[in-house]
Structure 1
Amino acid sequence: MIKSMTGYGRGQAHVDGLSFSVEIKAVNHRYGDINVKAPRVLMPLESQIKKQVSAVLKRGKVDVFITQDASGAGSALPVINEPLAEEYMKIFKGLTMRYDLSGGISLGLLLAQKDVLSVEDAGHDEQVLSSCLKEAIDAALQALLVMRQKEGEATAVDIKQRLELLESLLEKIVVRAPQVPVEWQQKLKDRLERLGDDAGDPQRVAQEIAIFADRCDISEEVTRFRSHLEQFNELLQNGEPVGRQMDFLVQELNREANTMGSKSNDAELTRHVVLLKSELEKIREQVQNIE
């Protein structure tokens, strides 16, 4: 069954006091575009993260948000930058003497200065780090896939109904098309009869009728249109990413519809073709969100 490119999933994992939360958001995109936002400690693992995600999500703009939970035991430690603190103390004492200020320099004031107190990762074994992260990403991907599949099923139902409508409209076109040159021939005969002796060469008239009939013939376009519809129905049952193939088929179906419209020379036939193209446009919009 086809899958949507839109989805959201969240996952968590806890391994040896290490804890990660992963959120993955995906929207439609022509190609696969994965962006990772994670703590600096995970920067060496970015290529591994993208590889894990791309193995599951073939198309779409994917944003991966990773946070390290502070609740994990030993996940982070407060660190004092003593050299920087000493420099701040020198500045504060210098200002106190220079401007003859009273009062002492509080610990709160010192710790409030930028980068004097920071929180750093306590450090973990790389294998534990990778294992915990992989587990959290897997959980987020599975949740996202569930959403993608549900949306894909709804999209498939809508497209299936529109394909059935296309088949119905095509049958109306097939029934109407042969009548167009016949009716044109009768109108031409009626006009010639009204002209009487000035009706012209019968052979020339027959030749014009044959040319008109050939110009209106859409049998090849109808055959190709049916073939594309069959291929489209087959792709709806395919579990692999088929969005690009569907997009190509919609373009081909539009091409055949345009040719049928240019050959119609008939108001009723043109109306059917316009409805055909309208449904194709709705299918094209749906296909844009299929993986």
Structure 2
Amino acid sequence: MATKTGSSLSALDTGLRHLPSRNKQVLTAQPVKHESNPIGRGGRTLSHHDGLDFEVVKAVLFDIDGTLCNSDPLHFKVFQEALQKEGFNNGLPIDETFFRRNISGRHNPDILAELFPEWTAEKANQFAEDKEAAFRCLAGSTLCRMPGLTEFLGWLEETNRRKVAVTNAPRSNAQCMLDALDLSARFEQIIIGAECACPKPAPDPYIVGLNALAVQPSEAIAIEDSPSGIRAAVAAGIPTVGILSGQEAATLRTAGARWLIRDFKDLMDVIYKKAPEEQGTPVEMR
């Protein structure tokens, strides 16, 4: 059935970006005060001179989608096809800009309440279930670990640092991705946003993660790829690394990321204290 057939995508996009979040009132924790550090002042990558000191880090809280693996292209494909089938935007496919601004990293009920406010809860739930099932069909044989992740996880384990995964994905999706990446046994707990009082961008999932690890925010870092996830981690008081797997650098800085990396190889460079000239090809600001 065609819905939203009278809306233009650009108009809807503009409107959605100004709608208040239903979870905004939860964000009462004071964010960490800092200056956002771009990936490479002058175009260089993050280095050990930029204030990321692993000597004080006792635990790492990882997002899953777009962080452990580059899953956004699959989510984009599935959402694009599902929305087009519903007649969204007069049946024209959404583009990647719309996906990044309005969908990536967000909780399904919040997304669908804004895209289809006239839908019943039953209709929205069925759409979400069908979409997630389509994602799992693709993810099981497609996903691979982010560059440097294997080495970074190994270093954390060798140095007895703790780790959990914190995600807005449904538990079935989270488990599917971890199985596909052969990472199911590598995390102490999997924190699911929908199983907390509020999902990201509220801080609740990260607060649950900190409590599970019995660490203070200053003793941990979070690694996130989406504005929603970064806002959640920062609201929980956790210094946050933004990974540039899909979003623009400026978007992640605005959300509150203290550091930006291309992938986990950049973190290994920091751990082994490589100077910028010893690192890989410099990344230009996007």
TM over 0.5: no
Task: Please give the TM-score of this superposition, normalised by the length of structure 1.
Answer: 0.25
Greater relative contact order, per chain length (Cα 8 Å cut-off, separation 6+): 2
Q: Which has the higher helix share?
A: 1
Task: Please give the TM-score of this superposition, normalised by the length of structure 2.
Answer: 0.25
